Structure 1
């Protein structure tokens, strides 16, 4: 007679080697954020062609960019709570399908107003897809490798953004800017049936909701085919929560961590978008050609990709808040160094690479940290709302560069000021780590 046993699903995942099913899940999430990155970046690459075809000024294009950013922010706020209620896979597929259709429709825009509306709708889907990819990846990753797996998955966004530039460079001249949006819309729609057939729902979510135990059993069997799970029940050491998930981000044990995460996300994305938007302009103001300034700026994205993977490994080995706190502090120093390095191209390249390594790499690490910080019932909401708050910082960062140029500050002054938010992000991460250590001590 078989004896019933209860299995903690996260403990089960932690106890076994990474399976083919988990690798496929991470790869699918990688492709989602890569397509996300392609669509997010595409509008910037095709903007000159849109401007030329419709006879627009630079000011006319501002609402197009603003609508996309507003959509990203709204999508993050909207789809996180929905994923905690209806499931990670369900909402991820809805977001991918939504932004695919909206991007495809954008290709057939007949006016600036129509394009602005469709870019907002595209951003809405994009804003929900990214944090939910982080959430699902985190819930299938063994805890000892969670940070590096999530940060590696997230690098798909950077690669997708770079692919958008390559595609635009080759497609616009021959087929026009609309073709780039067609590609950006078709890719997620092609990916959608693959997700439907292959992407698993989070077993942590299913167990917490008390749903589909046979599906949980089949999924865990794919992680460990040799295990006999026929007489098993499944559990997680957490309870389902009632009410709107956002209010639970401010429960007693989560309140301070939530505020520290939001502050770090806001400041980090402010710096990232400020540098991404204005670095070529600021560097070229020293007399460097715009082409050379753009190549130097590309090192910021390269540094961010390398930094994300390296910091993910460090976060798995050491205290993750301390790793991110120190990295953000270094980001402030390296960002300030950019302003005084324009006389030496090698030093400037290293400073830009280092700033990208630290600030962009730490931001990806902060996504992994958020996914590990929140319990299953509020994980998608926690990651998404931190991302949404960060998007507010990204909008402010995109505008701040213009304000500083208007003040006619020297470059050392500009980059010293740009580095200041990274100091605040560093203090936020270190304070979050200190609060968590105090709570652990108090619990014991």
Structure 2
């Protein structure tokens, strides 16, 4: 059915998007964003997959691989802090395409590195591109899908990271014996370059960004007609309830995160995500070691780790589905609280049986469901003018938690802490994360989407 709007009629782009069904356009957008996140996951895990062969090939001790293994994480943090905010100034589309091409180029270049220093530098630059990709992808997806399915759509897209890690592991098992470790980096570099051309051809600019930045009405109408080809929007005036008032439109996105309206929420998001990644990275990096130290055989702890990631995929989708039906803040706080409960149970009763495997899967479900949903929540909390920046800075702060979790696990193992004691301790940061989100909920009790959080709607004519 065609929609015809009278010339000069004001059209709220968010209401227009929310009225649409999930169309072929949304499917194409979802696939492009899913592939971007999947390649991010593949490339992020690449160095861990090739490290043993690299150490043997270059005849270097494994403990000297620390800088090159951490270079990507550092680059991701820098990219999130410094590059992603450009998207709130010049647009999501251009920054996303540029970041995908950037990490593709440097991943390809890393395949030809001849020294540890050169490889470390190239992996740092690769990380910068990766750091700008995730927040822009999550924001674009969130700004194009109807509010009724936004949580599920964005979380479903973020499952791509786990899928990329899985594909990377399978590819590495085939590529490295046949073609050497450099082939993994070549594939991880060539694929983003191909994807960048697809994004250039099919990826639209965010309609809400175009409204907030004063783009021509004709361009906005063309973008909306990709969602609803039969809509007639000639001569309409486009506004967005999520659009910041004109006096705030030129403010630095970073300053907006720290403004009176958003400061408490920003700090609570940072605290929650920091604590979240403390738990997630300690488990991801040390669970096989902890299980082995508790008497598990290689097949047992390998299978348990795989089940953990399977539970993670289910949890991400479940959390997204619930966020579309309940308060997102309460859903994620509940997942963190359940994580605390499960790790406490593990800490008090370790058994080498199916019961422990079920508890590990439950941990993956609740913890990863909460972790991925934090990006979705950030895109809903911040206004259009600082949405990418807000998501990116939260992700960057979280990287500090990832470092703390990684080194914290090593420290606790050096003190000869047992598996159960370490898992039980993880209840503390999980509960802190839940508490931070509940405080965010008190600060923004009606948090459902950014449209309800921006205060006075602004109607601007372009």
TM-score of the superposition, structure 1-length normalised? Answer: 0.96
Shift of 1:156: 0.6
In the aligned structure 1, how far is the partner of 2:150 from the partner of 2:139? 11
Given candidates 338, 341, 345, the residue that maps to 1:333 is 341
Contact 2:52 2:62 in 1 (8 A): no
Stretches of structure 2 that go unaligned for 5 or more consecutive residues are: 457-462
The whole-number CA distance in structure 1 between the counterparts of 2:232 and 2:178 is: 58
- 1:3 Cα offset (Å): 4.0
Q: RMSD between aligned alpha carbons? A: 1.8
| 1:49 counterpart (46, 49, 53) | 53
Q: Render the CA deviation track for 1:88-119: whole Å, top value 9, x for unaligned.
A: 01000111011001111111110111111111
Which of 186, 192, 203 lines up with 1:188 in the alignment? 192
Query: What is aligned with 2:385?
Result: 377
Unmatched runs of 5 consecutive residues or more in structure 1: none
Counterpart of 2:11 (choices 3, 7, 12) is 7
Partner of 2:83: 79
1:337 and 1:175, CA in 2 relative to 1: closer, same or farther beyond 3 A? farther
Q: How many angstroms does 1:413 deviate by?
A: 1.4
Q: How does 1:94-243 map to 2 (within 5 A)?
A: 94-237=98-241, 238-239=243-244, 241-243=249-251
Tell me if structure 1 keeps the 8 A contact 2:304–2:357: yes
The question of whether the paired residues in 2 share the 8 Å contact of 1:341 and 1:347 is answered with no
Which position in structure 2 is the counterpart of 1:90?
Answer: 94
SS at the partner of 1:227? coil
Distance 1:359 1:438 in 2: 24
Number of aligned residue pairs: 443
- The answer to whether the aligner puts 1:416 opposite 2:424 as a matched pair is yes
> C-alpha separation between the residues in 1 aligned to 2:302 and 2:219?
50
Per-residue CA shift, 1:254-273, capped at 9, x if unaligned?
11111111111111111111
Larger proportion of helix: 1
Distance 2:216 2:300 in 1: 56
Per-residue deviation, 1:366 = 1.2
1:357 to 359, 365, 374: 365
Q: What SS does the aligned partner of 1:95 have?
A: helix
- Report how far residue 368 of structure 1 moved: 0.6
TM-aligned CA deviation for residue 411 of structure 1? 2.1
Structure 1 equivalent of residue 460 of structure 2: none
Cα pair 1:340 1:411 within 8 Å, conserved = no
- Could you give the per-residue CA deviations for residues 201-257 of structure 1, whole angstroms, max 9, x where no partner exists? 001001111113222111111212222211311111223522321010122221111
341 and 293 in structure 1: CA distance in 2 versus 1, 3 angstrom threshold: farther
Find the aligned partners of 1:71 and 1:226 in 2 and give their Cα distance. 44
| Cα distance in 2 for residues equivalent to 1:360 and 1:235 | 36
CA 1:3–1:71: 2 relative to 1, 3 Å: closer
